[in-house]
Chains A and B, each alone.
Chain A
Amino acid sequence: MELTYAPIQGKSRGYRTMLAILIALVVVLITSFLVAYLMGQQVWGINNEVIWGQLITLDIYFIGLSAGAIIISSLSYVFKREEYKPIGRIAVFMGLLLMIGAMVCVLVDLGRPEKFWRLFMYFYLNNMTSLFAINGILYLGYILLMLLYLWLILENRIRLAAIIGTIDVIWAIMVHTGTGAIFGLIANREILFTPIKPFEFLTAALTSGTSLLILVSIVTFKFTKRAFNKGLVISLGKLLSYIVILLLVLVFFDKLTHMYFPSREGTVFLFSGPYWWLFWVFQIGMGIIIPLVILFHPRLGKTVKGVVIAAASVVIGVLGERAALVIPGTAYPQPLYPGQIEGIWGAAGVFPMTPWETLLSLGIISLVALLFVLGLKYLELLPAAPSAEAVAVPQPEPSPPVTDASTKETGEKLD
């Protein structure tokens, strides 16, 4: 069943208001960046103990979301599941934008942003033992692949898109396990160090990517007055629940290994130190428990509302998971010498939320949202028909057959 895509008109007041707000926030982004660039990172909350802050958290979060979105998009283009077609293009576009957002995060976070190009150099010129460098190459390739992928999709070159899509999915997996490896291979930080970290990252990427995709799709479709296939939502919800279980298993084994005697101080710090809530409330509570409870509930799990709530919970929970890695991971005072280390060298790190850094984070999120919203207007991302019903997931009552001719209403004003 062929589906046509069309851009939205983008002339409604709602749209314009959103555009205005987002543009204002992007201006805030540029301002905050300039402030930090001119005054130095002292205006942020980072310090010599908690050396990575909101921006790196946001960066790995976005990479995760991007990889997740791309992998879900593969359901549509690589695995040729027709029911995921309506959201296929949005997924790829989201993947691209989120990755661009992640790159903006990294660039802005650098001490010397004007030297960012050093991260993207060729093999022999960079330090290939550094996962940052390897990831730099992976990220560059990933963005280029996604650009290509998106272009092919927009051009409707489906077969080529499938091939590139496959490569892109594998690349996305590499990207995100690579990002996980940045943390997982650091031996001196107990909270970060585990070989499972790349897989945890990938799984969290899938959960958060799927959830964000669900949310964005439903919100976008709702605001553009397109009907959303309930079955699609439920099936995505089911997929989500399986991945969350996988994530739970991975997190469980990771933490079990670390909590097993002896040598567990770092993990005890994570569980019961000043940042315990990042782990328990966000990562476990919102990222795993609540979605599982909802999605496996006999009634709730089958409603759109339930899935949406679960997805929202996962989206926030996984952000908390990233933060629970970055902040307590570096806040845990390193055991330089056995015994109680006095003063600042033995004190747990403190990461305050400073205004400029928070504005910067908000700004980058707004930038991604802005690009998305602009993309909706200028690219053909959404299914054309206002009440597009793609081939429905086999249901007890098949919907009445529709033909192209009667439902094709291109260019109809929607908003």
Chain B
Amino acid sequence: MTRRAFLKLSAIAGAVLAMSRIFKHPVVSASPSLSESTGNSGIEEKWIATSCLNCPTRCATRVRVVNGKAVKIIGNPLSQTSEGEVCPRAHIGLQVLYDSERLTAPLRRTNPVKGRTVDPGWAPISWEEALGEISARLKSLRDRAQPHQLLLLLGLNTISDEDLIRRFGDAYGTPNIISGDGLESEAERLGRWMADGNWSHIAYDLGNSNYILAFGASILESHKPVARNLRMWGKMRRERPDRAKVVVIDPRHSVTAAKADEWIPITPGTDAALAMAIANVIISEELYDAGFIADWTDGFDKYKELALTDYSPEKVAEMTGINADTIRRLAREFAQSRLAIAWVGTGASRWPNGSYNSYAIFCLNALVGSIDVPGGVTYQENPEYREMPELVEDETARAGRAKPRLDLRRTGRFPAAEVATNQVADSILEASPYPVEVAIGFNSNFNMSAPGPGRWDEALSKVPYYVHIAPFASEMAQYADIILPASTFLEQWGYDHSPPGSGFAEAKIKQPVVESVGDSRAVGNIVFELARRLEGTVASSFTGIGNDTEGFVRYRTGTLTAWKEFYEKGVWVGPDYKYGKYDSIFQTPSKKFEFRSGNLEMRLKQVGRDGNGLTTLPHYDSVEFLGNEKDYPLVLLTYQPLLDIENGSQNYPWAQQIFLVRHGIGWDNVVEVYVETASALGFGDGDMVWVESPFNRIKARARVFEGVYPGVVAISRGQGHYAYGRWAKGIGVNPNEIVGVDYDHLSGQAAFFNTRVRVYKA
């Protein structure tokens, strides 16, 4: 081609291009509006009221379903527990529902070897085959008069499913219905129970409170009911003329501490000492509510004596690392702000001395009269569901249930425990008091969430037959012989109510918003089916309560509300909360608030122990740490960030992308170290480090910053999955791997925070 032609061609080409575009170019209007499409035919849209189950708060939600696909989840404005609000995890329900790696069919294990990294060799089988096999096993166990060797492990399930599972266990004849509560806040409950006889998570009337002294409480991240806390936070900080003051006592600068008015770091494990010192000041300066103390409490003299003698602010200042003047100031502020709440958080209760921490802190509420008054501690009312017909039981069941329980509750080991979850692993390994033959796990994942998860691995390997029922194959499912795919909470019927917090009762429905994905079935329906197949008294116990989960929910909520109203509205709200019920709320020997626990004395007597001296008084019990200070100079604290989904999996990109807001980090978790500690140990922000305890070690990324008490390192829970989920596997670390096994021996609560570690550069 000649250059002339080349030049000519390019010129023409350019011109043509320009011309064509001029004529074809559309004129765009300044503000294009949407097409008229709301009246589109062929598009079906509805809003369905249900509730969430990504954490135990169980908020009421509404789900928007378009053409059979759930596309949006928001709160249900008719729910008063959180005034229609939900926390971010509710939205992640969509990813839980449409998780592409969910189980779609029952699976059987083909590889007999069980282990953490062993491929089980799952082979799909039919429901018929699976249920047939399981019920055969259960039946044979019962026939051999060994029903107590069935272990039922409960993770996070609906309350309706839990009711069904417990009924099943009772009818079957096993005492071993073990929930995950023993990992949560049992010590908190015991501490409170010691004072007023109510074994429940403490409810605080946040909306009306003026001062909150939070001991180790992650109010804005994990303390249930989370959504209520979030809503009330907004309310009490900016929607009232009186702004509530919040002081957080915690070795870690948590999100709650960051948003509070004051953060007071404390030597780990010494919360009871601080509480008693505050009591000391309040009592010595006579700032306590004399009327309430005189009329409605018992044992005040002993308490007063103890506080004044042993817990002077100067003495406690040494123990806790908090200035004596600060202690005095806090005490005065606390007593003089009407009303003030002393809040027991897991940071204070998941210790070997947790029950006493809880007791000591709880007593502060009584000291200033914050019991069952607006702004104080409230006594949660729960929906009164219709009573189920009496259990049909036979001799086998009775004998089985009379056997000692695997978690050794109410024995000399855990005299006042309701459930000591973490003990079960050891009991299985020691085959004491008896071996376990069959275990069924309902949405449980203790192989991640319990301290010393290696023991759970071994224990489950030892159990001859384990059935795992969940929507996905978590770490615990690795040991299953059969996995049954359960529906998620968006595909099943159920009723739920939130943990204590609102005061008034509120029941929430769960109903399917879409068809069950794959071949999954609701947990409740699986229980019904198993009961039917077992025939006899077990099956009889499951008659007359509705034949499936829908029927069951309808049956149980029949006393509360009309069925149609319930599933259309999604919630039933009970009558307004009434305060000041002093003549009925104290379930103690003296029928009053007890500064010296008669209840505990009674429990201890039942196991042949004495209840004298300090044992029944709130006091500071020094903590024995696991690991000596010389070799392991730092204390390991773990915590639960808001985006930790509590259903056993973290396979949710929306949660992962923004996992730790405090550090602006996603898809990872970090070990938080104080700046000077890190520089002394020779590593910086972002370096990989080993965190080693006397039990194990993990490699994590270091986050060096100012928000951590110098003698402590903090690691968030929720990451470190290794078995399930391409968005969760191999990401971050699970600090439970290196936490030692210890308990608050009164309540059986697993202690999470008394392990010492050392940290060094990787």
Contact = CB atoms under 8 A, between A and B. Distances in A.
A216 interface: no
Given A147-B11, A151-B7, A121 B663 contact: no
Contacts of B25: 121, 125
Contact of B22 (A122, A151, A154, A342): A122
Contacts of A378: 1-3
Interface string B1-28: 1111001001100100110011001000
A227 to B, nearest CB: 26
A106 to B, nearest CB: 16
A309 B17 CA distance: 43
B664 A147 contact: no
Interface in A126-153: 140, 144, 147, 150-151
Interface stretch (A314-322, A343-351, A358-366): A343-351
A128 to B, nearest CB: 16
B7 A342 contact: no
Given A144-B14, A147-B11, A379-B3, A342 B663 contact: yes
A344 B664 contact: yes
B607 interface: no
Contacts of B7: 147, 150-151
A26 B662 CA distance: 49
B614 interface: no
Interface string A331-347: 00000000001111110
A144 B13 CA distance: 12
A41 B1 CA distance: 36
B664 to A, nearest CB: 2
A194 to B, nearest CB: 31
A362 B3 CA distance: 27
Interface in B360-404: none
Interface of A is mostly: helix
B658 to A, nearest CB: 10
Interface in A16-58: none
B733 to A, nearest CB: 18
B16 to A, nearest CB: 12
A343 B17 contact: no
A117 interface: yes
Given A121-B21, A144-B14, A147-B10, A342 B3 contact: no
A120 interface: yes
B250 to A, nearest CB: 19
B762 interface: no
A343 B664 contact: yes
B665 interface: yes
Interface string A200-213: 00000000000000
Nearest to A380: B3
A160 to B, nearest CB: 15
Contacts of A345: 664
Given A154-B3, A343-B663, A378-B3, A117 B10 contact: no
Contacts of A151: 4, 7
B408 to A, nearest CB: 44
B411 to A, nearest CB: 48
A415 B21 CA distance: 46
A120 B18 contact: yes
Size class of the contact patch on chain B: 10 to 19
Contacts of B663: 342-343
Interface string B111-146: 000000000000000000000000000000000000
A81 to B, nearest CB: 25
Contacts of B665: 342-344
Nearest to B706: A340
Interface in B665-686: 665-666
Most buried by B among A121, A154, A343: A343
A117 B18 CA distance: 8
Contacts of A121: 21-22, 25
Contacts of B664: 341-346
A5 to B, nearest CB: 12
A252 B57 CA distance: 62
B641 to A, nearest CB: 13
A45 B132 CA distance: 56
A120 B21 CA distance: 10
Interface string B465-496: 00000000000000000000000000000000
Interface in B18-61: 18, 21-22, 25
B701 to A, nearest CB: 12
Nearest to A154: B3
Nearest to B20: A117
A116 to B, nearest CB: 10
A45 to B, nearest CB: 20
A125 B18 CA distance: 13
Interface in A342-391: 342-346, 378-379
B731 to A, nearest CB: 16
Contacts of A343: 660, 663-665
A346 B17 CA distance: 45
Nearest to B24: A117
A214 B18 CA distance: 36
Given A144-B11, A342-B665, A344-B665, 11 more contacts: A120-B18, A121-B25, A122-B22, A125-B25, A140-B14, A147-B11, A150-B7, A341-B664, A343-B663, A345-B664, A378-B1
Interface of A: 117, 120-122, 125, 140, 144, 147, 150-151, 154, 341-346, 378-379
10 smallest beta-carbon distances between A and B, as pairs: A343-B664, A342-B664, A379-B3, A117-B21, A343-B665, A151-B7, A342-B663, A343-B663, A345-B664, A344-B664
